[in-house]
C-alpha cells in the first residue's frame, strides 16, 4: 500500500511538472505574440526633403519593409511598423541598395513618429536627418496644436505667422519647435526670414486647424532659389494617438 501510494504521488508530481512546463510554453508564446502586435500600434511617416537623392527603401532590422519608394518632396502618410527591433535604415531604391541613413534607437510602442530626410547627399548633410515623436497631449477644448519644422538646407532662421500673428520665431535648420495651441479655424500661414519679417517667403492659404487635432508645418528647398531647390512648405496632420485608438 505504501509503495502504491508513493507511486501515485510520483505520477501526480510528474504530471504537475509537465503541465507547468506546458503552461509556461503557452505563456511565452503569448508574450511573443503580444510583442509583435504591440509593434503594429507604432506608426511612422517618411518625408523625403533631400533633393539630390532618388527614391529610398525602408529597412527594419535589416529586412526591406516593402517595395514602396519614398521620393522627394513627398510624404508617405502614416503606416504601421512590423517590428520595433532596430536598426531602421533608408537605402537607395536601386538593384544594389546603399545605406544612406541608419537609426539605432528603439522606437516606443503605441507611438507615432515622423522621419524627416533633410540636407543633401553631395555634401553629407543628409546625415543629420532625424526622427521626431509626434506624440502630444490633447489641446484645450476648442483648439488644435501646431508645430514648425525647419528643413530648408542652407536657409537662415525662419518665423511662422498665423493670420499675421507671430506663432513661432527664429527656428533654425533641422530644428523642430514645440507644439503651440491655436483656436480651431481657418488660417493663412506665412513664413519669413527672422531677419526680414516683412518679406514673405511662402504662404500657405486656407489651412484648417480642427478642434483636438495636431499639425506640423515644414519647409523644404532653399530660401531665394527658383529652380528645383525652390523654397516651399507643406502641412502634415499628426493624428493624436488618444484619438486614433478610440
- pLDDT tens string, the chain, 246 residues long: the values are 445 444 454 444 444 443 444 333 333 333 332 334 444 689 999 999 999 998 999 999 999 999 999 999 999 999 999 999 999 999 999 999 999 999 999 999 999 999 999 999 999 999 999 999 999 999 999 999 999 999 999 899 999 999 999 999 999 999 999 999 999 999 999 999 999 999 999 999 999 999 999 999 999 998 888 887 889 999 999 965 444 332
Instruction: Write down all domains in the chain, each with its CATH number in brackets.
Output: 40-135 (2.60.40), 137-246 (2.60.40.1120)
C-alpha cell of 170? 527664429
| Short-list 99, 94, 82, CA closest to 55 | 94
Of 227, 216, 229, which is closest to residue 152 (Cα–Cα)?
229
What is the model's pTM? 0.81
Contacts of 153 (CB under 8 A, 6+ apart): 118, 119, 120, 125, 173, 222
Amino acid at each position: 500500500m505504501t509503495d502504491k501510494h508513493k507511486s501515485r504521488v510520483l505520477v501526480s508530481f510528474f504530471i504537475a511538472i509537465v503541465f507547468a512546463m506546458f503552461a509556461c510554453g503557452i505563456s511565452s508564446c503569448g508574450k511573443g505574440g503580444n510583442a509583435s502586435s504591440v509593434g503594429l500600434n507604432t506608426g511612422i511617416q517618411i518625408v523625403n526633403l533631400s533633393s539630390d537623392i532618388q527614391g529610398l527603401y525602408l529597412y527594419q532590422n535589416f529586412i526591406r519593409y516593402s517595395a514602396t519608394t519614398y521620393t522627394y518632396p513627398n510624404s508617405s502618410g502614416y503606416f504601421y511598423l512590423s517590428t520595433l527591433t532596430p536598426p531602421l535604415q533608408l537605402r537607395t531604391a536601386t538593384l544594389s541598395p546603399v545605406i544612406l541613413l541608419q537609426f539605432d534607437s528603439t522606437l516606443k510602442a503605441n507611438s507615432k513618429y515622423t522621419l524627416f530626410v533633410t540636407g543633401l547627399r553631395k555634401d553629407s548633410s543628409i546625415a543629420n536627418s532625424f526622427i521626431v515623436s509626434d506624440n502630444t497631449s490633447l489641446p484645450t477644448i476648442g483648439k488644435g496644436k501646431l508645430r514648425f519644422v525647419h528643413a530648408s538646407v542652407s536657409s537662415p532662421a525662419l518665423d511662422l505667422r498665423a493670420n499675421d500673428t507671430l506663432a513661432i520665431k527664429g527656428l533654425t535648420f533641422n530644428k523642430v519647435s514645440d507644439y503651440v495651441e491655436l483656436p480651431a479655424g481657418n488660417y493663412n500661414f506665412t513664413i519669413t526670414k527672422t531677419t526680414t519679417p516683412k518679406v514673405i517667403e511662402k504662404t500657405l492659404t486656407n489651412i484648417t486647424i480642427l478642434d483636438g487635432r495636431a499639425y506640423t508645418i515644414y519647409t523644404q528647398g532653399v530660401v531665394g532659389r527658383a529652380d528645383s531647390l525652390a523654397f516651399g512648405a507643406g502641412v502634415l496632420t499628426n493624428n493624436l494617438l488618444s484619438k486614433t485608438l478610440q
